Amino acid sequence: MSETPSIFSRIIAGEVPADIVYDSERVIAFKDINPQAPVHLLVVPKTEEYANVAELAAGDPALLAEIVTTAQKLAFEHMNGQYRLIFNTGRDAGQTVYHVHAHVLGGGLSEGSLAS
């Protein structure tokens, strides 16, 4: 079910190209290759130790907080500061990469829609 290293670790290592919009000691962010909104970014911890947001919350809450604050900062830089933050958890919820990541969607979303 999970690929090691994950596609995101390969982006972090520079082995796979990506449109990187943020890079810090513990977090990276880049444009989603298959955008589901006018702006669709992924915010990813550099460690692939955590498969999903609940594992991350339990294992390193400060890192989860950094992901959320990074999402907020990017939302002001790339959209109008209003955004949808999604952590898919499990295959039935659409998770395909088991290296925790936040989807930051914005730039004009349809009202009432819950889908990413």
Task: Determine, following the binding rule CB under 6 A, whether residue 94 of this chain makes contact with ligand AMP.
Answer: yes
Reply yes or no on whether 40 is catalytic: no
Task: Determine, following the binding rule CB under 6 A, whether residue 34 of this chain makes contact with ligand AMP.
Answer: yes
How far from 55 is each of 24, 44, 58, 97, 100, CA to CA, in Å?
A: 21, 14, 5, 14, 9
Instruction: Give dist(CA 10, CA 70) in Å, integer.
Output: 21
Site residues for ligand AMP, 60-89, by CB under 6 A, read: 88
From the CB of residue 103, how many other CB atoms can be counted at a distance below 10 Å? Answer: 21
User: Of these, 14, 62, 92, 96, which contacts ligand AMP (CB under 6 A)?
Assistant: 96
Question: Least distance in Å: CB of 33 to ligand AMP?
Answer: 4
Helix (H) or strand (E) holding 39: strand 39-45
Query: Among the candidate windows 30-38, 43-51, 63-71, 74-82, which touches ligand AMP by CB under 6 A?
Result: 30-38
Local structure of residue 100 (DSSP, 8 states): -
User: Of these, 3, 7, 47, 57, which contacts ligand AMP (CB under 6 A)?
Assistant: 7
Instruction: Give dist(CA 2, CA 109) in Å, integer.
Output: 31
- Residues within the interface to ligand AMP (CB under 6 A): 7, 16, 18, 30, 32-34, 42, 88, 94-97
Residues tagged active-site: 101
